[in-house]
Amino acid sequence: MNKDESIRFAAKYLEDLLSFFGINVAVYSTIDDDVIQLSVPSTSLNSLLIGRNADNLRALQHVVSMALVVREAEVTRVNVDVANYKRQRADRIAEKAEGWIQKVRETGEPMELNLNAADRRVVHKLAQDYSDIETHSEGEGRERKLIMSKI
């Protein structure tokens, strides 16, 4: 299954999965850095689809990704977003990160942050815009932490 087929399959698979829950919507799909981006419009069941701490979103991503793996698709990484939840969360994390960066700049003390992988990515990316700030992650699995320090 080539890249275009993978994108179409992932969108259709997610649409079919959502229809099982009585949600009949068109899923918008794109690809960015070899990750299939699937966007589900807002419905009355947003909270069910997102779940606590976005656990249901991650589960949907995993199911779609595994369906692609089984079909030996060229692209198997998937990001599912419902009603722009992830984009809004990334914006909130970026806003908080600006404050964390200022605090590290003022105090000179490193800061250790307990963030999930997606939030760590947002902070790492934002910190690249600051020549005097360095970030890296330490630890394994759910114990992984982001360390922000002044250079």
- What pLDDT shows up at residue 38? 95
Extended beta strands in the chain, E state? 28-32, 35-40, 78-82, 111-113, 133-138, 145-150
Q: Which of 62, 83, 104 is the last residue of a domain?
A: 83
Count of structural domains, the chain? 2
Check which CATH number belongs to the domain holding 103 and give it: 3.30.1370.50
Check whether residue 47 and residue 113 sit in a common domain: no
- What pLDDT shows up at residue 151? 87
- Residue 10's alpha-carbon distances to 51, 56, 115, in angstroms, are 21, 17, 28
Has residue 111 got a pLDDT over 90? yes
- Residue 72's alpha-carbon distances to 8, 9, 17, 27, in angstroms, are 14, 12, 20, 22
Instruction: Give the structural domain span for 38.
Output: 3-83
Check whether residue 8 and residue 64 sit in a common domain: yes
Check whether residue 50 and residue 95 sit in a common domain: no
Q: Which of 83, 112, 127 is the last residue of a domain?
A: 83
pTM passes above 0.85: no
Model confidence pLDDT, tens digit, residues 16-64: 999 988 889 999 999 988 889 999 998 888 888 999 988 899 999 999 9
Check whether residue 116 and residue 144 sit in a common domain: yes
- What pLDDT shows up at residue 65? 95
Q: Which of 37, 54, 83 is the last residue of a domain?
A: 83
